[in-house]
């Protein structure tokens, strides 16, 4: 091999913030704080405080490779932890405050976290777990002295006190770019949660991936507001991508309702925002009720669950926004695909264009393939569904300390089994149709629960819908739809059947349609089909 003669400089997370401090010192990070007021500072000040935090972490005895837990909202202090913890070579372990107590206990102990950084209003969660985290040596409340809550916990520190008086520079170590930098556990709808352990290299490449395809407008003069939490899947990489691009970062703190989000976006000139469909439903209701319109926002990214076509239409037609769908998982850093923009869209009428936006295009660096139940490779014809497998420099090669889960997730030839069912077009446009564990198989043929949900949700009386498989003596399984009606509306089952009749093939028609007040959700805001199936386990289909 003739070796290239280029410098072997590591891709390190702290260098992103160093770059932003040197290049965009005054471009701001604006946060709605847990204490209430809006906090703002530039990337240069963020870098200085991150150095102070690094000294404080050392003072707490944190060494390279140690896991440092955070249970916190999207704010500047959480941002400092993202960089400070990874910067000294430790691992920033973000934890979802909506997890059940048993999951929390499992995750903190499995990761062997040394200390926990927690927002003041989430401290009761840690107090409730007192005695169940034997390896945790200290708890740091992310606030100032004036706002320190009373607590009976031992060894509690105040974040601002720890930073006070520390030097504003730090001799950041030249780490190996393959060193672990952060970790996140899946919420584990079945079995124990599983840990994805990210590296500096994977994180920086993922951030480049987000910036590269030009589907999302980053850049100077732009402002991004990640509603997607920093406590789960790293806020889809926004805290890393924004500082590279010189983009202002707007953090919503704990207030995620439609009114608070709208207000912050307007006040701070937000041009791009990212979140899950449930959040966008709340914002849409607020906009419709108040008649408000965005002045600055141009792009709204939805991911984490399939966005209903009716929502794409509403945001585009009523509010003039460009809706972009993304696909990813905790295990894939998370984003692998986003946006359907491309020549396929040229000349399309609105309806067809909106429909195409149910798909998303893969990023450079990511390979996707579809596989049948016997491991055979399926065509990318836009039509044939198969299990989605992927690989790439920001996809896990195994779960943290979990040989069994790793063996189940990785193929012999080095691909990751996503557990999603999807179709792919010959131009690399992906559409998720199901989870393998939620599939409905009628007479040996798959029915896409996402398609069914999507079609029924275009009925104005339907707020939320979930399709589940029910046992059937002749067809093995048949679909049933569980519906939450919009407030003040009461669509009948027959009305919904009539609505579906010209939208789906006849054998997809659900055997039963049930109405409930609320659907069960997971810690990440997705409908929990597991719980839903449990709830309807004694239901016998009317067609049986
Ligand atoms: P969990 O919520 O279980 O912790 P993740 O947050 O990692 O898991 O979510 C990953 C899953 O979310 C994917 O495997 C997929 O099922 C679903 N998902 C993500 N994006 C989309 C999308 N654009 N369309 C449909 N489903 C999606």
Beta-bridged to residue 386, according to DSSP, are: 422
User: What pLDDT is stored for residue 184 in this prediction?
Assistant: 98
Q: Which residue has the tokens 């584990």?
A: 188
Q: Which of the given ranges, 170-184, 190-204, 445-459, has the highest pLDDT on average?
A: 170-184
Task: Using the mean position of ligand 1's atoms as its centre, give its distance from the Cα of residue 302 in Å.
Answer: 11
Catalytic site residue from 80, 331, 360, 387: 331
Query: For 286-308, how does the pLDDT look when each residue is reduced to its tens digit (9 = 90+)?
Result: 999 999 999 999 999 999 999 99
Pairing outcome for strands 272-275 and 223-226: parallel
The best mutation among 103, 311, 327 to test binding of ligand 1, ranked by most ligand atoms within 8 Å of the C-beta, falls on 327
DSSP annotation string for 249-264 = EEE-BT--SHHHHHHH
d(CA 70, CA 159): 12
User: What pLDDT is stored for residue 187 in this prediction?
Assistant: 72
d(CA 442, CA 533): 17
Task: Using the mean position of ligand 1's atoms as its centre, give its distance from the Cα of residue 444 in Å.
Answer: 25
Could you give phi then psi for residue 441, rounded to 5 degrees?
-120, 105
Task: Using the mean position of ligand 1's atoms as its centre, give its distance from the Cα of residue 306 in Å.
Answer: 8
d(CA 118, CA 98): 13
User: What pLDDT is stored for residue 236 in this prediction?
Assistant: 98
Give mean pLDDT, residues 263-276: 98
| Model confidence at 499: pLDDT above 80 | yes
For residue 449 and ligand 1, the question of a CB distance below 6 A is answered with no
Give mean pLDDT, residues 458-466: 94
Task: Using the mean position of ligand 1's atoms as its centre, give its distance from the Cα of residue 226 in Å.
Answer: 17
The residue ranges of DSSP E strands in 415-489, in sequence order, are 416-424, 429-435, 440-442, 445-447, 462-472, 476-485
As a whole number, the mean pLDDT across the chain is 96
Q: Is 406 a catalytic residue?
A: no
User: What pLDDT is stored for residue 215 in this prediction?
Assistant: 80
Query: For 146-163, how does the pLDDT look when each residue is reduced to its tens digit (9 = 90+)?
Result: 999 999 999 999 999 999
Query: In this structure, are residues 509 and 473 in contact, taking their beta carbons and an 8 Å threshold?
Result: no
Query: In this structure, are residues 339 and 212 in contact, taking their beta carbons and an 8 Å threshold?
Result: no
Read off the DSSP letter of residue 277. H
Buried b (16+ CB within 10 A) or exposed e, 403-427: eebeeebbeeeebbbbbbbbbbbee
Report helix, strand or coil for 143: coil
> What is the band of 437 on the pLDDT scale with cuts at 50, 70, 90?
confident
Instruction: Please state the atom number of ligand 1 nearest to the C-alpha of residue 325.
Output: 23
pTM over 0.85: yes
> What is the band of 188 on the pLDDT scale with cuts at 50, 70, 90?
low
User: What pLDDT is stored for residue 24 in this prediction?
Assistant: 98
Burial of 503 by CB count in 10 Å (0-12 exposed, 13-18 middle, 19+ buried)? middle
> What is the band of 192 on the pLDDT scale with cuts at 50, 70, 90?
confident
> What is the band of 189 on the pLDDT scale with cuts at 50, 70, 90?
low
Domain 440-535 has CATH 3.30.565.10: no
Domain coordinates in residue numbering, the chain: 14-200, 440-535
For residue 158 and ligand 1, the question of a CB distance below 6 A is answered with no
Percentage of the chain beyond pLDDT 90 is 93
d(CA 433, CA 422): 5
Lowest mean pLDDT of 90-94, 179-183, 213-217, 503-507, name the range: 213-217
Query: In this structure, are residues 227 and 264 in contact, taking their beta carbons and an 8 Å threshold?
Result: no
Instruction: Please choose, from the candidates 234, 428, 270, the residue with its C-alpha nearest in 3D space to the C-alpha of residue 339.
Output: 428
d(CA 241, CA 230): 13
The best mutation among 275, 280, 304 to test binding of ligand 1, ranked by most ligand atoms within 8 Å of the C-beta, falls on 304
| Model confidence at 213: pLDDT above 90 | no
Query: In this structure, are residues 180 and 16 in contact, taking their beta carbons and an 8 Å threshold?
Result: no
For residue 417 and ligand 1, the question of a CB distance below 6 A is answered with no
Q: What is the layout of strands, in order, in the sheet containing 386-391?
A: 360-361, 429-435, 416-424, 386-391, 367-371
User: Left, alpha or beta for 364 (phi > 0: left; psi -120 to 50: alpha)?
Assistant: beta
Give mean pLDDT, residues 401-409: 96
**Which stretches within 223-334 are classed as H helix?**
238-245, 258-268, 277-290, 309-313, 319
For residue 504 and ligand 1, the question of a CB distance below 6 A is answered with no
Q: Is 441 a catalytic residue?
A: yes
* Angle, helix 258-268 to helix 277-290, in steps of 10 degrees: 80
Task: Decide which of 446 and 44 is more confident.
Answer: 44
Query: For 55-112, how does the pLDDT look when each residue is reduced to its tens digit (9 = 90+)?
Result: 999 999 999 999 999 999 999 999 999 999 999 999 999 999 999 899 999 999 999 9
**CATH domain 14-200 topology:** Rossmann fold (3.40.50)
C-alpha distances (whole Å) from 130 to each of 60, 71, 152, 192 are 20, 15, 9, 21
């Amino acid at each position: 091999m003739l070796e290239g003669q280029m410098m072997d400089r590591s891709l390190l997370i702290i260098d992103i913030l160093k770059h932003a401090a040197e290049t965009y010192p005054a471009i701001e990070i604006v946060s709605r704080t847990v204490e209430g007021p809006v906090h703002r500072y530039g990337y240069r000040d963020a870098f200085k405080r991150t150095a102070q935090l690094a000294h404080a972490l050392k003072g707490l005895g944190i060494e390279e490779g140690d896991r440092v837990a955070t249970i916190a909202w999207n704010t500047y202090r959480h941002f400092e932890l993202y960089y400070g913890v990874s910067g000294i070579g430790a691992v920033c372990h973000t934890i979802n405050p909506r997890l059940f107590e048993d999951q929390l206990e499992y995750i903190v102990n499995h990761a062997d976290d040394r200390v926990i950084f927690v927002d003041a209003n989430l401290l009761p969660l840690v107090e409730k777990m007192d005695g169940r985290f034997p390896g945790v040596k200290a708890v740091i409340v992310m606030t100032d002295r004036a706002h320190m809550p009373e607590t009976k916990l031992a060894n509690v520190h105040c974040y601002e006190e720890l930073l006070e008086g520390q030097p504003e520079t730090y001799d950041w170590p030249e780490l190996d770019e393959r060193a672990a930098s952060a970790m996140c556990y899946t919420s584990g709808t079945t079995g124990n949660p599983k840990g994805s352990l990210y590296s500096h290299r994977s994180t920086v490449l993922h951030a480049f991936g987000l910036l590269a395809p030009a589907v999302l407008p980053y850049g100077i003069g732009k402002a991004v507001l990640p509603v997607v939490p920093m406590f789960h899947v790293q806020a889809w990489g926004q805290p890393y991508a924004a500082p590279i691009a010189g983009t202002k970062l707007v953090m919503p703190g704990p207030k995620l309702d439609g009114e608070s989000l709208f207000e912050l976006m307007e006040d701070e000139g937000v041009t791009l925002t990212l979140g899950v469909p449930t959040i966008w439903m709340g914002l849409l209701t607020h906009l419709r009720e108040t008649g408000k319109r965005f002045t600055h926002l141009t792009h709204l990214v939805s991911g984490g669950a399939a966005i209903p076509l009716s929502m794409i239409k509403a945001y585009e037609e009523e509010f003039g926004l460009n809706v972009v769908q993304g696909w990813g998982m905790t295990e894939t850093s998370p984003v692998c695909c986003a946006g359907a923009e491309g020549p396929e869209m040229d000349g399309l009428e609105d309806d067809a264009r909106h429909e195409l936006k149910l798909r998303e295009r893969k990023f450079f660096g990511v390979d996707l393939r579809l596989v049948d139940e016997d491991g055979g490779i399926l065509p990318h014809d836009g039509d044939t569904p198969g299990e989605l497998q992927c690989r790439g420099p920001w996809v896990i090669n195994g779960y943290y300390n979990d040989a069994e889960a790793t063996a189940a997730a990785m193929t012999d030839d080095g691909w990751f089994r996503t557990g999603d069912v999807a179709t792919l077009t010959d131009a690399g446009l992906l559409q998720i149709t199901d989870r393998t564990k939620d599939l409905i198989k009628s007479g040996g043929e798959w029915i896409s629960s996402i398609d069914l949900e999507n079609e029924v949700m275009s009925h104005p009386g339907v707020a939320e819908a979930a399709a589940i498989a029910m046992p059937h003596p002749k067809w093995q399984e048949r679909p049933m739809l569980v519906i939450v009606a919009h407030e003040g509306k009461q669509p009948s089952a027959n009305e919904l059947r009539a609505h579906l009749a010209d939208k789906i093939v006849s054998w997809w028609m659900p055997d039963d349609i049930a109405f409930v007040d609320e659907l069960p959700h997971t810690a990440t805001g997705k409908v929990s089909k597991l719980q839903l199936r449990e709830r309807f386990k004694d239901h016998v289909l009317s067609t049986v």
